[in-house]
Amino acid sequence: MPGESDMNEGGPSGRFAPSASPLVHPHGVTERSPATPSGPSFRASAAKALGDAQLRANFRRAMDGLMTKRSAQFPDPGDLQALRDLGTAVRTRSLLRLPELLEQLEASCTRNGIQVHWAETCDQANALILGLLKARGATRLVKGKSMVSEEMHLNAFLESHGIESLESDLGEYIIQLDHETPSHIIMPAIHKNKGQIAQQFSQKIKDAAYTEDVDELTALARKVLRQKFLEADAGLSGVNFAVAETGTLCLVENEGNGRMSTHVPPLHIAVMGLEKVVARLEDVAPLYALLTRSATGQPATTYLNLISGPRAKDEMDGPREIHLVILDNGRSRIYGDPQLQATLRCIRCGACMNHCPVYTRVGGHAYEAVYPGPIGKILTPQIEGVGLRHDLIHGSSLCGACSEVCPVEIPIPDILVRLRREATHADAASAVAGQGTGRTTSEDLAWRAWAAVLKRPRLYRLSAWFATRFRQFIPGGLPLLKAWTLSRTTPLPAPRSLQERIRKEGMPRV
């Protein structure tokens, strides 16, 4: 099934009505009411972010740096394409065999002494983890970076049950001190500059002197967190790739906090989205090469940590127990849709964010979603339903930079267009919830009028005659036009329509 969407990567697939094509659909001219009452408004938060000069400078600098570093890692376009093709094939194969591979993963992990648990929802996963911790009397948990645990809002859940859940990735630690969420999936604290972090550390870390020196700030965090690793009852991590054949959990990191969290405490709990599985350990090599280069422009990270079992009888250290929690949270529903399934190929590198003209300007928090940027724009509505987040799917110029850099060639703009259509049309066959809820009366009327005019040649010619003769007098404040003219000049029709000119001047010979 993903093979089908692969073949259609060049453009929207045949299931779309032509009106959904971005070329025909003048999406900027529509007036869009803010998101439904209960959903966050991307339009409002983006506008606020655009007014924050410091935030914009922080992101601009960071994203420019990341783009430069990534392109330096792919000097040969042929090799890059070959590697992307291989990475895409590995992920596509994994998804085609997903149920079989998940069962194999479970069997291999069990054989290796890793206990496997399944959760349909975030609530189930949270309860499962709480149960594991409580049964062992654990009250202090250290965490390596995990986006799935963000999806579960695990920290808040555990804190509400009296368990300290401490982020140990430096960026995650920084934002946890301020009770913030990550603004980037790879660099969670990228929205802050060192002055802001210096201020925060001096206020919130005991006995810390104010310093803006990055090495000194890092040393401060090191001191605090090493003590926490030493004392922790349990460690939690995400999983970058899970290998079905060997029962191996692969963790990719630079800081060593992932190794600390998974190897110092007696209990290691790993959480993964069910799509993270690959068949063989050697499949990890091309994905790892794509991940590190695409994410941060590094040929390799400091650590690639392959965990295939807890402490053996004759070992001196390592966790005594490892538990793997496999989370669904809407993924099996997405899996059921041939086009949307491509979303599950994602290896969470963040390159689509780094290259997105929208993300670069508004930053990650404006999306008010766990996964920001282009991948978040397609993933969030698929998980939460298109109803609550239909202004999110319109926050894109469909420029295609995201799919151009995506290491596993996810056709993000095509899926965005598909979701835009579903936000205004109900399609019983689709896996997306909340269809048709983005329909507005004014937009609906405008399209009806448009269709009525186009179906009647005489009416069309009359409208064209008026539009060209009275072109200077079209008021920019018209209900639907206003959304466009708020920050742009009013579009001016040509003095004569093309049809009129051809009738009068004849077809030019070219």
Partner 1 sequence: MSDARAAILARLRAASTDNPLPTLDTAVLERRRWSPTERVKRLRRGMEAVHTEFLEARTEDWPEVLGAFCEREGIKTLLYGPGTEAGRRLAAVMAVTATALRPYDAPVETFKDELFQAVDAGFTTTLGGVAETGGLLVAPGPQEPRLLSLVPPVHLALLRASAIHDTLWSAIRSLGWDQAPPPNALMISGPSKTADIEQTLAYGVHGPRRLIVILVHDLPGTPA
306 vs 474 by CB, closer to partner 1: 306
> Of the candidates 219, 445, 459, 462, which one interacts with partner 1 according to CB under 8 A?
219
**Spatial separation of the C-alpha atoms in residues 59 and 116, rounded to whole Å:** 39
Q: Which part of the chain contacts partner 1 (CB under 8 A), choosing from 325-333, 360-368, 403-411, 477-485?
A: 325-333
Residue position matching structure tokens 């009366």: 441
Q: Which part of the chain contacts partner 1 (CB under 8 A), choosing from 87-95, 386-394, 406-414, 452-460?
A: 87-95
Using CB atoms within 10 A of its CB, is residue 68 exposed (0-12), middle (13-18) or buried (19+)? exposed
Footprint of partner 1 on 241-280 (CB under 8 A): 245-246, 248, 254-257, 259-260, 263-264, 274, 280
Among 331, 333, 348, CA closest to 250 = 348
> Of the candidates 118, 202, 211, 478, which one interacts with partner 1 according to CB under 8 A?
118
285 binds partner 1 (CB under 8 A): yes
Footprint of partner 1 on 150-179 (CB under 8 A): 168-171, 174
232 vs 481 by CB, closer to partner 1: 232
Footprint of partner 1 on 94-113 (CB under 8 A): 96-99, 102-103, 112
16 binds partner 1 (CB under 8 A): no
224 binds partner 1 (CB under 8 A): no
Using CB atoms within 10 A of its CB, is residue 447 exposed (0-12), middle (13-18) or buried (19+)? middle
Q: Which part of the chain contacts partner 1 (CB under 8 A), choosing from 188-196, 392-400, 421-429, 480-488?
A: 188-196
Footprint of partner 1 on 49-78 (CB under 8 A): 58, 61-62, 65-66
Query: Bridge-partner residues for 250, per DSSP?
Result: 241, 306
**Spatial separation of the C-alpha atoms in residues 232 and 319, rounded to whole Å:** 12
> Of the candidates 44, 50, 67, 89, which one interacts with partner 1 according to CB under 8 A?
89
Residue 11: CB minimum distance to partner 1, A: 20
86 binds partner 1 (CB under 8 A): yes
**Spatial separation of the C-alpha atoms in residues 343 and 477, rounded to whole Å:** 39
219 vs 449 by CB, closer to partner 1: 219
| Pairing assessment for the beta strands 241-243 and 248-253 based on DSSP bridges | antiparallel
Residue 319: CB minimum distance to partner 1, A: 9
**Spatial separation of the C-alpha atoms in residues 198 and 192, rounded to whole Å:** 10
315 binds partner 1 (CB under 8 A): yes
Q: Which helix (H) or strand (E) holds 345?
A: none
Whether the CB-CB separation of 91 and 345 falls below 8 Å is answered with yes
Residue 174: CB minimum distance to partner 1, A: 7
282 binds partner 1 (CB under 8 A): yes
182 binds partner 1 (CB under 8 A): no
Among 486, 488, 490, CA closest to 43 = 486
134 vs 488 by CB, closer to partner 1: 134
**Spatial separation of the C-alpha atoms in residues 128 and 125, rounded to whole Å:** 5
| Sign of the dihedral through C-alpha 172, 256, 134, 325 | positive
208 binds partner 1 (CB under 8 A): no
Instruction: Kindly determine how many residues on this chain lie close enough to bind partner 1 according to the rule CB under 8 A.
Output: 104
> Of the candidates 27, 32, 153, 226, which one interacts with partner 1 according to CB under 8 A?
226
146 binds partner 1 (CB under 8 A): no
**Spatial separation of the C-alpha atoms in residues 238 and 125, rounded to whole Å:** 13
> Of the candidates 27, 32, 140, 333, which one interacts with partner 1 according to CB under 8 A?
333
46 vs 334 by CB, closer to partner 1: 334
323 binds partner 1 (CB under 8 A): no
Number of CB atoms found within 10 A of residue 301's CB: 19
Q: Which part of the chain contacts partner 1 (CB under 8 A), choosing from 133-141, 311-319, 393-401, 418-426?
A: 311-319
> Of the candidates 15, 25, 136, 222, which one interacts with partner 1 according to CB under 8 A?
222
Query: Which tokens belong to 110?
Result: 């069990």
Residue 419: CB minimum distance to partner 1, A: 19
Residue 46: CB minimum distance to partner 1, A: 23
Whether the CB-CB separation of 236 and 144 falls below 8 Å is answered with yes
Give helix 42-50 / helix 53-73 axis angle, nearest 10°. Answer: 90
- Tell me which DSSP letter residue 364 carries: S
Footprint of partner 1 on 29-48 (CB under 8 A): none
Three-class SS string for 477-504? Answer: CCCCCHHHHCCCCCCCCCCCCHHHHHHH
